[in-house]
Amino acid sequence: MFIRLLLILLISSNAWGQSRYIDYQSPFHPTINKRGMVASQNIESSEIGIEILNQGGNAIDAAVAVGFSLAITLPRAGNLGGGGFMMIYLKERDEIFAIDYRGQASASTNLDELFNTNPSRDYANTNFEVVEYGYKASTVPGTVSGLLQAHKNFGKLPLTEVLKPVIRQAEEGIRVSYDLEQAIGSSSQLKKDAESRRIYFKDGSPIKQGSLMQRPDLAKTLSLIAENGAKAFYEGEIAKKFVLAMQLNEGLLTDADLKNYKSRFSAPIGINYRGQKVFTHGPPSGGGIVLLTALNVLENFDLKKHGSNSSTTYHLLAEALRRGHNNRSHHVGDPSFYKTPIENFLSSERTKQLARNINFKKATASSAIKPLKVRNESKDTTHYSIVDEEGNSISNTYTLGSSFGSGVTIPGTGILMNNQMNNFAYRFGDKSIKGRAASPGNRFEPGKRPMSTMAPTMIFDKNDNLSLITGSPGGSFIPATILRVVTGVIDFDLNIGESTMLPRLHKDWPYSGLDHESTVSQDVLKVLDRLGHMPELSKTMGSTQSIHIIDGSNQGYADLRRPNAGVAIQND
């Protein structure tokens, strides 16, 4: 009797335990809350954003703190010496703003000075490597201007309070991660610069995992900015160190270049996609045009019918992306120098022209995709998304260009410089070039901002409520990365974790191959190869940091493709 009773109790207990167990539909779990949320490529920086929100700051204050913090925690991409694009949504005003703080070429530089020859006349003997690394590779940094422009217009807390935890982080230091040690070791340009060697190397080797990396030089720079704002960076003590370093190393930037730099507000660009409004940044971003063009093309097809991982869906994504990259490869440039025909790019006439020759049984030849009648980036950018409990939101993408940019650190400042001079189309006019290297819109001109594929994105649902904040690093892969997340959420009704972890592909123009992640099914790849896409295995694509808002609840997800990313939240 006792044994029978014991068995009954054990069986009942086991059944009760199973009934209480939560069985999730997906292994990719979003972080969920109803107050403030920060998703960035480093969890320590995300937590600093939450610290600012807990002090009464808004999403803009948090974005400023996170942007400065990533220069410490993610120095290969987070930065004060680079530039980018920011989207801001103010809930109470129901308005979206875009800020262009892309780097800008020196106003006093010409091609002869840059290359010691004129590449428009002599391509064969032009040494384009001079704009890859070193002091001639950098545009005027825009990050400080852009972040402080946002704070000045929309922030709540004093700048000194916003930067206080970031200064503390620089002073106290961070523990070097495995990823950071490996990134330093794989960036040879750092070793060529004495100041970078001093900071990132010890006894000739990259600073070791687990080591404490303190940044007193950067802390001092941040303190000067906290007290004196953008003027400290562009005209004050920091600017003087910039100019001296440039003069000593045959750099291009002058005191006038720094003093005259201004981030600028611009109108976001957008379309309707299946009843939802998709907004992103316009030129000099070309990535936004790729994304919106691809969505326009895909609107002509029922993706949901085919499934998120079918060969037909991958084929349509590839065809749409190829047409999007065609749109950006010729007539996208700095709006101060070149009028990009955005309305024409996104018009129904252009969309019909692009969609008309998509064949379900064959990949479209690049020659069949005609440019509208009227240089690739590095993958080491970073993005973060923020929402506060009032509903104000930020989507921000910025970059140094290559991993650790030009490799140059300005002595005494801790500031790594970008290599965005590499992003101009120096072969403008070369008839042998079909791609972006000869783009008339992105030709080099003094004082100009180069084209970028960064595309911070916000989506509003059919009731005009903000529903998705996203963006990614990844160079030319950025539009494909965001497109996969957006279609995952809208077309296939996946949660943000599932949408983020869908296998990704990239199809450019005029190049023939199709880049894909290792997680794409071999059966699918065989079909794509048979269609003529020429699949090529790529490393992982992008690192989206996204917040999906559903019925007032935030669902955040940090892409698993790169380590140390994380979502931080205000507790409900």
Residues marked active site are found at: 381
Residues 256, 87, 323: CA angle, nearest 5 degrees: 100
CB–CB of 54/389 below 8 Å? Answer: no
* DSSP label of 130: G
For residue 57, report the phi and psi dihedrals to the nearest 5 degrees. -75, 165
* DSSP label of 435: S
CB–CB of 496/29 below 8 Å? Answer: no
Query: Nearest to residue 334, comparing CAs of 225, 464, 447, 179?
Result: 447
187: left (phi over 0), alpha (psi -120 to 50) or beta: beta
Bridge partners of residue 266, in order along the sequence: 98
CB–CB of 21/15 below 8 Å? Answer: no
Query: Nearest to residue 398, comparing CAs of 175, 70, 9, 158?
Result: 70
Alpha-carbon gap, residue 251 to 407, rounded angstroms: 13
- The Cβ of residue 9 has, within 10 Å, a number of other Cβ atoms equal to 10
Alpha helices in 74-121 (DSSP H): 111-115
Alpha-carbon gap, residue 111 to 286, rounded angstroms: 24
Q: Write the single-letter amino acid at 24.
A: Y
Q: Write the single-letter amino acid at 102.
A: R
- Residue the block writes with tokens 């320590």: 44
CB-based burial, 129-157: b 16+ in 10 Å, e otherwise = ebbbbbbbbbbbbbbbbbbbbbbeebbbb
- Residue the block writes with tokens 């997800």: 557
Query: What residues contact 351, with CB distance under 8 A and at least 6 apart?
Result: 293, 296, 297, 299, 300
In order of 324, 379, 434, 482, the CA distances from 477 in angstroms are 12, 8, 19, 9
**Which structure tokens are listed for 353?**
């022209």
Query: Nearest to residue 334, comparing CAs of 424, 400, 259, 399?
Result: 424
Alpha-carbon gap, residue 423 to 495, rounded angstroms: 35
Q: Write the single-letter amino acid at 81.
A: G
Q: What is the CA radius of gyration of the chain?
A: 24
Look at strands 535-537 and 514-516 and give their pairing: parallel
Q: Write the single-letter amino acid at 91.
A: K
In order of 47, 57, 259, 264, 466, the CA distances from 98 in angstroms are 25, 20, 22, 8, 16
